[in-house]
Chain A
Amino acid sequence: GAVVSQHPSWVICKSGTSVKIECRSLDFQATTMFWYRQFPKQSLMLMATSNEGSKATYEQGVEKDKFLINHASLTLSTLTVTSAHPEDSSFYICSAADPGLAGGPHNEQFFGPGTRLTVL
Chain B
Amino acid sequence: GQSLEQPSEVTAVEGAIVQINCTYQTSGFYGLSWYQQHDGGAPTFLSYNGLDGLEETGRFSSFLSRSDSYGYLLLQELQMKDSASYFCALTGGGNKLTFGTGTQLKVEL
A89-120 to B contact mask, C-beta < 8 Å, 1/0? 00101010100000001111111111010000
User: Interface with B: A11-19, A43-51, A69-77, A79-87, which one?
Assistant: A43-51
A107 surroundings in chain B (CB, below 8 A) = 30-31, 33, 48, 50, 91, 95
Q: A42-B102, A107-B30, A107-B48 are in contact. Are A93 and B43 (CB under 8 A)?
A: yes
The size class of the interface chain B forms with chain A is 20 to 34
In angstroms, Cα B50 to Cα A34, docked, is 21
Q: Say if the beta carbon of A32 comes within 8 Å of chain B.
A: yes
B34 to chain A, nearest CB (A): 11
Does the CB pair A112–B42 fall under 8 Å? yes
Contacts A43-B100, A43-B102, A44-B87; is A109 near B95 (CB within 8 Å)? Answer: yes
The answer to the question of B98 belonging to the interface, with a C-beta cut-off of 8 Å to chain A, is yes
Number of interface residues of A (CB under 8 A): 23
Q: Which residues of A contact B99 (CB under 8 A)?
A: 43-46
The residue among B40, B42, B97 with the most chain A CB atoms within 10 A of its own CB is: B42
Residue of B nearest to A46 (CB): B96
| Residues on the A chain within 8 Å of B33, using CB | 107-108
Set A42, A49, A93, A108: member contacting B45, Cβ < 8 A: A108
Q: How far, in Å, is A38 (CB) from chain B's closest CB?
A: 9
CB neighbors of B among A14-55 (8 A): 32, 34, 42-46, 49
20 contacts between A and B (CB under 8 A): A32-B95, A34-B96, A34-B97, A42-B102, A43-B87, A44-B43, A44-B87, A44-B99, A46-B96, A49-B96, A93-B43, A105-B48, A107-B95, A109-B45, A109-B97, A111-B43, A112-B42, A113-B41, A114-B41, A116-B40
Which residues of A line the B interface, CB within 8 A?
32, 34, 42-46, 49, 91, 93, 95, 97, 105-114, 116
